[in-house]
Structure formats: C-alpha cells, structure tokens
Amino acid sequence: MQEILQNTTAYTRLLSQREEGKLSHAYLLVYDDPVHTKTALKALAKILFYAEENGYNEYGNFEQERIARLIDGEKYADCLVYPKNEKRLNVEECERIVEECFIHAVEGERKVILIDRIDEALPTAQNKLLKVLEEPHEGVVFLLSARTTYPVLQTVLSRTQKLEITPFPIEKVGACLRRNKKITANAEEIQLVSALSCGSVGTAEGLLAAGYYKTLLTDAFALCECELDRLPIAAKQAGATKNKKELVSILRLIFRDAAFIKLGQKAQMLLAPEKERISRIAQRFSYAALTHAQERLSAVEKEVVFNANFTQAIELCMARILVK
C-alpha cells in the first residue's frame, strides 16, 4: 500500500512543500477508500518527520526507520492519531486535541495530529476544532482525512488545505492486491474485483475477503436481463446492498463491455471472465441504449452521494435504459 500511495499527487505535493519550507498548518486529505484513509494519513505524516540533512527516504537510516515504525504502530510521541478505538471522533476527543496543541513536541520541533474520517464526526465535534484550525499553534500540523467533503463543515474546509487521492487505475489496484501476501485470490478474481472497485484498493480487498463481488455481479446481471414488468422486484433486491457505488460501477462496466462487443472490440473488455453473459446483454440492447446507460448511471452516482432513495433511483435508471 505504501508504494501506491507514494506515487499520488497528494504525497508528492506535501513532500514538495516540506522540502521548500512552505507547509500549511492543516491539511484535509480526500480519499474515498473504506479501509486505508488512516494508512494514507500515516504515510503523509512520515514526510513531516524526515531527516532534514539527509533528504526524505522513509527507511533510509535507522532513525527514520524507527520513527516510521512507531507512526505505523501509533506509538510515536509527536504523532497523535484520532479517533481512538476506530470509533467516530467525539467532542471529548476534540477537547483533548485542543489541549495537546499547547504541549510542545517531545522529540523534535513539530507535532503532527492525525484525525481520520473527519467526515463522520458530528458538527458539534467538528466545531470544537475550529479555533485551533483557525489560530494554529507553532509547531503543530493537522492532517485530516475524509472519504467525501459533503459532511465536513464549510468552516473546517476553509481552514484546511485540500489534498486529494483520486481513484487508482485498475492495473494499479490489481498490482497492489498481488503484492499483498494475505490475498490468495487467483489472477481472474483480482482482475474482476479491481475492475469493480471504483479505483479503491480497500473496496477491492473487501469484495475479495467477503466474496461479495459474486452477489453484486448476480444482482447487476439480474437488473440487465429482467423484463420491464419484473424490474421493481429486481431493483428492490439489488437496492438493498450496502455497496451502492460498487453496484453502479458494475452496471457501468457491463454496459461498457457490451458496447465494445457490439462494435466487435472484445479485446478491450474489463470484465472478460463474464464475456458470455455480457454478450447476451450486447444482443439485447441497441448500441444507443448501451451508451445512454453510461449517462443514466452517472446520474445515479450523483444521487447516491446525496442520499437519494437508491432502490427508486436504480429502478428508474434501468427502466429508461430498457425503454431506450
């Protein structure tokens, strides 16, 4: 995971600011991954503790290796990680964070405070941080993470510099999965979940671990293959999923690959293991309907962000594609 993070714009931008002595007092990392936001924050935090005289090299010498290991284990005195116990950040923790800003760093001149998933914190908790974000204490740098900025107070957004990790290409997600020694999936499964992951390594790992991608595929194909009068039933079943974004992503990929088959370009398929079923979709829909599907599913993605009724949204979307 470290390797893929080191090649992101967020990582290189923070490194550049550190080397130029132009660090901000607070950053908000926007990274839509259900698992690795804290891992990404720790990777960024290590940049802020590199040895000035040697340049940044995470494991370039013993001291940097020691600091990196302690940050990963959340035991480095000058790098504090919140919330504790994987829970949502609360008001009490925010009060402790404010108090920590008045305490000098132990080992060096800088204290870094990591706050994971600030987008899940209630407004009352976020408000507690406004003063220290607005009037930074010398030597204190905040690194916050959020999967999306919509729940983050505008006052918090305005006091932080935004860093963003955009969705990774499918091949990079797959490469990261293959490097993970805990994953025993075969090449075909890795290719499939990488395509379904929306560019998120954590999502891909979750789909593999639970084998849930098989259920999502079944529901997605059921939507594509059902008749109009059976659509409400199929939409109700598919709409109950917790992986709404992933389901929409699968539908987009199915219609995308079906369009390529329609054009006789099978080599460009991303869901090659499902070629037989996708071929049936290509026969069922016109090319105009397959391309129209991308537009309709993009609209559903936006509606999901704003907490629309997903079952209703997906049913209406598929109805319009079928009619087309």
310-323 and 212-225 helices, crossing angle to 10°: 40
pLDDT at 266: 67
Residue 319 has pLDDT above 80, yes or no: yes
pLDDT at 20: 92
pLDDT at 256: 92
Are residues 145 and 164 in contact, defined by beta-carbon separation less than 8 angstroms?
Answer: no
Residue 40 one-letter amino acid: A
Burial class (CB in 10 A: 0-12, 13-18, 19+), 311: middle
pLDDT at 307: 62
Strand partners, 27: 143, 161
pLDDT at 59: 44
Per-residue pLDDT band at 305 (split at 50, 70, 90): low
**Rounded distance between C-alpha atoms, residue 236 and residue 218, angstroms:** 14
Of all residues in the chain, what percent carry a pLDDT higher than 70? 94
Of all residues in the chain, what percent carry a pLDDT higher than 90? 63
- Chain position carrying tokens 């079906």: 258
Domains identified in the chain and CATH numbers: 2-165 (3.40.50.300), 211-323 (1.20.272.10)
Report the candidate in 261, 281, 141 with the shortest Cα–Cα distance to residue 221.
Answer: 281
What do you get for the CA distance between the two ends of the chain, in Å? 43
Q: What is the mean pLDDT of the chain?
A: 89
pLDDT at 52: 45
pLDDT at 211: 76
Q: pLDDT digits over 242-273, tens only? A: 888 889 989 999 999 999 999 887 667 778 77
Select the more confidently predicted residue: 238 or 273.
238
pLDDT at 133: 92
Quickly count: other Cβ atoms within 10 Å of residue 22's Cβ: 8
Select the more confidently predicted residue: 212 or 167.
167
Select the more confidently predicted residue: 73 or 301.
73
Tokens for 227? 């008749």
Residue 306 has pLDDT above 70, yes or no: no
Q: pLDDT digits over 136-152, tens only? A: 788 999 999 999 998 99
Q: pLDDT digits over 19-74, tens only? A: 999 999 999 999 999 899 999 999 999 999 874 444 444 445 678 888 999 999 99
State how far the alpha carbon of 242 is from the alpha carbons of 37, 294, 304, in Å: 19, 22, 11
Select the more confidently predicted residue: 184 or 231.
231
Residue 213 one-letter amino acid: Y
SS (H, E, C) the chain: CHHHHHCCHHHHHHHHHHHHCCCCCEEEEEECCCCCHHHHHHHHHHHCCCCCCCCCCCCCCHHHHHHHHHHHCCCCCCEEEECHHHCCCCHHHHHHHHHHCCCCCCCCCCEEEEECCHHHCCHHHHHHCHHHHHCCCCCEEEEEEECCCCCCCHHHHCCCEEEEECCCCHHHHHHHHHHCCCCCCCHHHHHHHHHHCCCCHHHHHHHHHHCHHHHHHHHHHHHHHCCHHHHHHHHHHHHCCCCHHHHHHHHHHHHHHHHHHHCCCHHHCCCHHHHHHHHHHHHHCCHHHHHHHHHHHHHHHHHHHCCCCHHHHHHHHHHHHHHC
- Chain position carrying tokens 């919140």: 82
Pairing of strands 26-31, 79-82: unpaired
Tokens for 194? 């990488």
Query: What mean pLDDT is predicted for residues 193-209?
Result: 87
